[in-house]
Structure 1
Amino acid sequence: MSLYRWALAVFFVLSIALCAAVFSFSARSPASHSPPNIGLTTDTSAEWVQETTCQQCHAEEYQQWHGSHHQRAMLVPDQESVRGAFTESEFRYENERYEFFQNEEQYFVRIESLSTAQSEVYPIAYTFGWEPLQQYLIETDKGRLQVLGVAWNTEKDQWFHLYEGFNVEDKHPLHWKQQSQNANTQCIECHTTGYQTDYSVKTERFESKWVALGVGCQACHGPASLHVDWAQADVADAPNKGFQRNVTVPGNAVAQLESCAQCHSRRTPLGQVQTNQGFHQNYLFSLLTSDLYEVDGKIKDEVFEYGSFLQSRMYQQGVVCSDCHNPHTAQLKLPGNATCTQCHNPVNALPREGIQRIARSTTNYNATTHHFHQQNSAGAECVNCHMPSKTYMGNDDRHDHSFSVPNPAQALQLGHSDACLTCHSGDPPASIVFAFNQRYPDYQPTDGGYAQTIHATRKGQPGAVDALLQQLGRNDLPPIRYAALLAEAEHYPAPQLYQVGVQSLQHQDPLVRRQALNFSASFLPSDQLQQVLAYLQGDGVRAVRVSAAEHAIEQAQQMGQTAPSNLTDELLTIQQELVGRPEAHYSLARLYQLQPNMLSATEQQQLVAFNLEHALRLAPNFTAALVASAEITEASSGALGIAELQAHVQQWPDNPDLHFALSLAQIRQGDLAAGINALTRAWQLAPENDYYAYVLAIGWHELGDVSKALDILRTQLNRSPRNRQIRLSLIEYLNVHDQAQAQERQLLLEQWQLVNPYDPLLQGYR
């Protein structure tokens, strides 16, 4: 037995012993977590009413809303709603020419391919948005509404392309013809009130419908029929005055935040939205991953506001959206800094009950002694320092809502953005840090070391695991950040972290429970994991149950077992409600593959094939479905399966996942050399993919080229120093009888000892 495998055995023994000690609740106690009490009623009889009904009693609010960005989110094109120049104006992008013109009351766009000289005219179906840009929807066929990539810049009065510099040709996933630009499934939900996708699998047609265009009263308050009944009957004791939820404050702050979060967050729907259910019943919320957020938690990708706000001290102290924004105009309640000084003022006044004060302060935040900038200048505005903005969609500046404090020294060290460095980009960074330290000599980071810890864990730096343990031991950490730390813990086997992970399965926040499950699944033995999954499948929050079911299905696949129907039923329901999306059909195919006992072999094959085919009709470049379909072909004919993948690679030569799938198929069919060639190409296209490098190194090692395997592992470890699998493989392949390699091996172990001294595998190398 090699030292590596001996150490692996030690690791499993230790993990089993630990789990037996800490997993005390086990399967005997079903999950007791109910959805958070956010003032929702369980009444499902409420119906939608015409938005104009609200005007009868709420004339002032209705007038404020009329003309707002919410009201104008999606409109029928006419002289009032269209902002773009449709006077035979022209715009060219890559290989396409767009001509915008008007014929009487109708608006059109002619799109011409410059390579084929073929063109097609589409009527503009709807306007999308108001400012700083306006987009346009066109109906192609079978009710499909697609979003044009060319939009109107309302500030510069000119056409522009949203993806300038991306080389978006017709096969590119961001091209207006592709599934990612299908408004029926991707966009309209948050630009209308009471939206239903209504896709027919039989006719392959969208019959999408809504109660009203634009984000109206009921989009936030819910269906209003029972409220109207309450108002007309003057019944004083109706819960929430007839609404399913109370989004006002004082009242239930969580209900308001979750109402706004429906659209102001990065999330995945869990089926058709149920208006009488909370956010985590309807959506799978995205966590603070490195592709979405900066290392200090500020927004990076297009994540909207909710994820950053949940990290803020404002959220922790009870501030809600309507404390700063007029919910009907969607504008700030007060001009300039006055919105902030409602709370941040030297007399310690607060605008309403329910907001908690951290500590009394006599600081005048609106004075030059605080911000050190000329009054009424950009540098004197609170938002420019504490809510720095990023530009999305070409010209749409959006503010970060974590309410961070500038820290130029840390920004330079960790590589995140910073308000001081951004505004003073023409000055030497060192001089900015010097000036900051002079003005704020007593400054301490306000995040308690969170950003430093996230950076250390992602870079595999010395002390990473100790820092993780310290952060996870805090009692003042926002749950969304706690969940982010648990996600990093997956990379560091350590009994101390395992204990935190198992205990976190009972955390009150569903985000934490979801991520605690992901973490626990990375180390728990099969029988212990089954107990965890049984426990969480009874969770009161749908997002947690869905995550548990996904893990249970994955475990069933790994063990060659079928998935019982009690695990798959809820997932089937969700995916069947989302059949306008190719991902839903892929998931359905996967679920049907795992239910052979409930279906005949013929039924199973037909359902799997049908859903994969339908996924590819919706999105011909959907990689997961392409690969799954080829694997089915390969099962009956290895040569045909490989030929199918080769055709896909030829059509999409820059897709690394297709090259990787081809390599695995070739290796399965015994052609290791061809598999390595395809795998090499996959790694060239995605050098950041550690798994590609790992498999490629194994391949070269199997062929006897140890030197090449070592070079690949060294290269990848330099890119991803925290990757334990790469490091241990390199240690295993190094020759202990070669002095230089033995020294390299020892150095790799010593480095990892500094990063994670609690790793059970290290015992095998001591």
Structure 2
Amino acid sequence: MAQSIPRYLNQQVALLSLKLAAFAALLFLALTAQAKGEQPAAPKYVGSQTCGSCHADAVTDWKGSHHALAWTKPSDDTVVGAFDGRTFLHQGNTTRFLNENGQYVIDTEDARGGRQRFEVVGVAGIEPLQQYIIETAPGRMLSFDVVWDVEGIRWIHLYPDQDLSPDDGLHWSGPYKNWNARCAECHATGFEKNFNPKTDLYQSRQVETGVGCEACHGPGQAHVSWAETDQQLDLTEWPGVNNVGLVINLHPSDTAETELRGFLAGTQQRISRLSDTEVEIQQCAGCHSRREPFEDGNPLPGTPFHDAYRLSNLRDGLYHSDGQIEDEVYVYGSFLQSKMYANGVTCTNCHNPHTAELKLEGNALCGQCHSPAGNPDFPTLSLKDYDDPTHTFHVQGSTGGECRNCHMIERTYMGVDGRRDHSFRIPRPDLSLQTQSPNACNDCHTDRTPRWAADTIAEWYPNSPKRGAHFSQVFSAGRTDLRGQSEALIGLAEYDQLPAIVRATALDMLLPLANPAMAMRLEPLLSSPEPLIRVAAISIQRGAPETERSARIVGLLDDPAKAVRIAAARGFLGMQIAYMPDRMNQNLNTAMGEWQKSLSAKADFPEAQLVLAGIGLTTRRMDVALSAFGEAVEMDPQLTQAWIMMVRIHSALGDRQSAIETVNAALDKNPEDVQLNLLRADIGG
């Protein structure tokens, strides 16, 4: 086996990519190009209290909302959990919750080094559960896994079946429960993470704790100036704002007299125009989505989603094969699949953005549009009474007669938190028979089979056109037989009547099979109007010869969406390019710089360290790869593949002693891992 290590390493190098010299040279280039003074400063934040001086009704609605209480400081007014000395036992570890003269304390045996006491420094949420934030080192905040169940009036563990030691990356003290890195951005206004990888310390800050007015409407300094003077704004003083002094148009009355420009991600020549509904949806999606962030904290409100994040597609483990929610994915990915989204429905058609509650209760909410009266904003709707047994086949007012229970299945996360799927799908138990995806019928009728449900619906709707072919049939089969479904997946990617997220998912699934013929056939998708599709289509071009790949994707280095520009930069990884025109070379450098900056912002993510390790492997800078893999396993010791790569690198370099020490350290953290044990036997450690 030792003889195969160099060949194995070369295979890994071929899969990963980037010339480290070029990347390192760009380490400071992007920062230098965006130095202070080159871009106009955004208006300053003024705080929700200032907003309330004019917008009293909105602020009254907002106070007490889930947004306002997303993150608060601990006090008698905000803490609802029983910090009265009671104890909670989980997997042999006892935790006590105390109130010591107004200071809330968590005393737990489930901590690194044994029993420790932590002061509660923050409170997250208000219902159906409340979490407590503790500080394990100056500035480093963690979200504790024992939470207060508001409805059950009890302490519960978020993951009751997990028995994790403090050395496990998934433990509450590990990198994935880090409040600074993983949570705070969506629980605060104007948040900056400010992690220093050299000192491993955080100096995080926010302009307002909790999701305040300016988290959605943007910093209000220019708006206040406009309101106080009641005169047209001087855009030389406030470049980039609209006619009422805001950096985002969330309402048609705020129509900008000039394009948003200047300080939006420093890309004024590339900013896309978005419809009013799309601006609103993308602003909400920044937090209500499963995604990879590009920035160090909150992007400036109004920044297009694809300039700040890369959305997770419908991959296995996050979504069922038919696109239904499986893991905690936070709405946006499912909403993009819906006909409602395709027809211009936006978040505030159903939700009051200030109270964060539904506008109407029960079927009345859906009846705003789905009724005999219809809604003039959506003229294509069929005018009929849907809230009737002739449609629901359930008694009116019953659980089965509720629109949401058939068209918005509910899944429970964090123990007690029910979340609704926003793809608004028609129940398809017939697909459950083929794909094993769940269906709304059997969510209620747990004592019956999908066959029974499918037959019943066929009886109710014998000639329905809604039971035709579905992308889930291809996705489900492709998850077990990718090669056998390649042609069908290509067909899905090419079919422009499907939602963009479905087509992008098909492209993602095809990536392991990418070859010159596939790259050529799917080249037109590089020009798709959808950023999701352009990002995924770039990856497929890895199957093309270098000269063709570079020619096809070079134009995307200056794409309007940062997610696409970064994907294009990655597409150039490892290419041997003798010459590029100055403009193209400048675009490549800029896109590489954006990618570098996004990785720097995630230096506290094990995932980002794995990418950096891949960069080292690609360029055969094994010192860089070893360092990054080492950082990754320091954060998450259960990343066994990172340990294995470190051992293989040491072996390939002829450093048997370091290989033995590394595999022993890996087994100390993962003693039962089969691959690590086989590797130690192979190298004789």
> How would you bin the TM-score normalised by the shorter chain?
0.7 to 0.9
SS in 2 for 1:140: strand
| Corresponding residue of 2:306 | 280
1:56 corresponds to: 53
* 1:360-399 alignment runs, 5 A limit: 361-399=382-420
On the 8 A contact 1:95/1:169 being kept in 2, the answer is no
Which residue of 1 is the match for residue 12 of structure 2? none
Asked whether the 8 Å contact 1:125–1:138 carries over to 2, the reply is: yes
The alpha carbon displacement at 1:585 in A equals: 4.6
Hey, what does 1:340 align to over in structure 2? 366
Q: Measure the CA separation in 1 of the matches of 2:42 and 2:657.
A: 54
The aligned residue for residue 164 of structure 1 is 160
- 1:259 counterpart (273, 278, 283): 283
For residue 396 of structure 1, what is the amino acid of its counterpart? Answer: D
Q: Could you tell me which of 526, 533, 539 is aligned with 2:559?
A: 539
Q: Distance in 2 between matches of 1:609 and 1:462?
A: 34
User: Which residue in 1 is equivalent to 2:529?
Assistant: 508
Between the aligned partners of 1:462 and 1:182, the Cα distance in structure 2 is 39
Q: Answer yes or no: is 1:79 the counterpart of 2:76.
A: yes
Alpha-carbon distance in 1 for matches of 2:628, 2:668:
22
Alignment counterpart, residue 112 of structure 1, candidates 99, 109, 116: 109
Amino acid at match of 2:454: V
Residue of structure 1 equivalent to 2:663: 646
Verify: 1:457 aligned to 2:478, yes or no.
yes
Is the contact between residue 553 and residue 567 of structure 1 (CA under 8 Å) also seen in structure 2?
no
Structure 2: stretches of 5+ with no match in the other structure: 1-38, 234-240, 254-274, 578-587
Superposed CA deviations along residues 340-385 of structure 1, whole A, max 9, x for unmatched, are 11111112333xx4xx4335x2321011111011111111111000
Q: Could you tell me whether the CA contact under 8 Å between 1:390 and 1:398 is conserved in 2?
A: yes
| Equivalent position amino acid for 2:165 in 1 | E
Helix, strand or coil: the match of 1:537?
helix
Alignment of structure 1 residues 388-537 onto 2, 5 Å: 388-445=409-466, 449-460=470-481, 464-465=485-486, 467-468=488-489, 470-490=491-511, 497-521=518-542, 523-537=543-557
Structure 2 residue 299 is matched with structure 1 residue 299: no
- Structure 1 residue 501, shift from structure 2 partner: 1.4
Q: Give the conservation status (yes or no) of the 8 Å contact 2:515–2:544.
A: no
Question: How big is the shift at 1:465?
Answer: 4.8
- The amino acid that maps onto 2:348 is S
Distance in 2 (alpha carbons) for counterparts of 1:95 and 1:207? 35
Change (3 A) 1:113 1:167: closer
Mark the runs of 5 or more structure 1 residues left unpaired by the alignment: 1-41, 558-563, 597-603, 667-672, 679-766
In structure 2, what is the Cα distance between the partners aligned to 1:225 and 1:198?
Answer: 24
User: What's the offset of the Cα at 1:566?
Assistant: 6.0
Equivalent position amino acid for 1:261 in 2: A
- Whole-Å separation in 1 of the counterparts to 2:619 and 2:519: 33
In the TM superposition, residue 632 of structure 1 has moved relative to its aligned partner by: 5.4
Q: In structure 2, what is the Cα distance between the partners aligned to 1:468 and 1:631?
A: 35
**What amino acid is aligned across from residue 274 of structure 1 in structure 2?**
P
Identify the range of structure 1 (260-269 vs 226-235) with the bigger mean alpha-carbon deviation: 226-235
Quick check: 2:434–2:473 contact (8 Å CA) kept in 1?
Answer: no
Corresponding position: 1:271 with 2:295: yes
| Distance change >3 Å, CA 196–CA 472, structure 1 → 2 | closer
8 Å CA contact retained: 1:96, 1:114: no
Instruction: Give the one of 187, 192, 195 matched to 1:196.
Output: 192
Counterpart of 2:120 in structure 1 is: 124
Render the CA deviation track for 1:259-287: whole Å, top value 9, x for unaligned. Answer: 10111000111122431521111111111
Give the distance between the partners of 2:142 and 2:339, measured in 1 at CA.
40
Q: Which amino acid aligns with 1:358?
A: T
- Give me the TM-score of the superposition, normalised by structure 1: 0.73
Contact 2:609 2:628 in 1 (8 A): yes
2:246 matched to which residue of 1?
A: 243
The correspondence for 1:146, drawn from 142, 156, 163, is 142
**2:33 corresponds to:** none
Query: Residues 470-512 of structure 1: CA distance to partner in whole angstroms, max 9, x if unpaired?
Result: 4345332111111122223345668875444111011111110
How many residue pairs were aligned?
608
Matching of residues 59-70 of structure 1 within 5 Å: 59-70=56-67
Q: How does 1:661-672 map to 2 (within 5 A)?
A: 663=679
Instruction: Measure the CA separation in 2 of the matches of 1:626 and 1:645.
Output: 7
Paired with 2:181 and 2:612, the residues of 1 have a C-alpha distance of 17
Structure-1 residue corresponding to 2:17: none
TM-score normalised over the length of structure 2 = 0.82
1:550 aligns with 2:570: yes
CA contact (8 A) 2:427 2:439 kept: yes
Secondary structure at the residue paired with 1:342? coil
DSSP 3-state at the match of 1:127: strand
Change (3 A) 1:428 1:472: closer
For 1:110, what is the secondary structure of its paired residue?
strand
Residue 34 of structure 2 corresponds to: none
- The equivalent of 1:222 in structure 2 is 218
Task: Tell me if the contact between 1:169 and 1:175 (Cα under 8 Å) persists in the aligned partners.
Answer: yes
Measured in 2, the distance between the counterparts of 1:537 and 1:565 equals 9
Moved more, 106-115 or 371-380: 106-115
3-state secondary structure, aligned to 2:105: strand
CA distance in 2, matches of 1:658, 1:208: 39
Q: What is the Cα deviation at residue 308 of structure 1?
A: 0.3
- Across the aligned residues of Structure 1 and Structure 2, the Cα RMSD in angstroms comes to 3.2
Structure 2 residue aligned with 1:581:
605
Q: CA deviation at 1:60?
A: 0.5
CA contact (8 A) 2:111 2:173 kept: no
Q: Are residues 240 and 341 of structure 1, via their aligned partners in 2, closer, same or farther at CA, if it must alter by over 3 Å?
A: farther
1:625-647: per-residue Cα shift (whole Å, max 9, x none)? 64565455445543123213321
In structure 1, give the amino acid aligned to 2:457. Answer: F
- SS of corresponding position for 1:255: helix
Identify the residue that residue 233 of structure 1 maps to in structure 2.
229
Aligned to 2:682: 674
User: Partner amino acid for 2:153?
Assistant: D
Q: Distance in 2 between matches of 1:208 and 1:626?
A: 31
- The answer (yes or no) to whether the contact 1:270–1:282 under 8 Å persists in 2 is yes
Q: Could you tell me which residue of structure 2 aligns to residue 687 of structure 1?
A: none
Determine the structure 2 residue equivalent to 1:357.
379
Query: Structure 1 481/126 Cα, relative in aligned 2: closer, same or farther at 3 Å?
Result: same
SS in 2 for 1:136: strand
Q: Aligned-pair distance for 1:624?
A: 6.3
State the AA in 2 paired with 1:348. G
Which is worse superposed, 412-421 or 465-474?
465-474
| CA radius of gyration, larger in | 1
Q: What SS does the corresponding residue of 1:187 show, helix, strand or coil?
A: helix
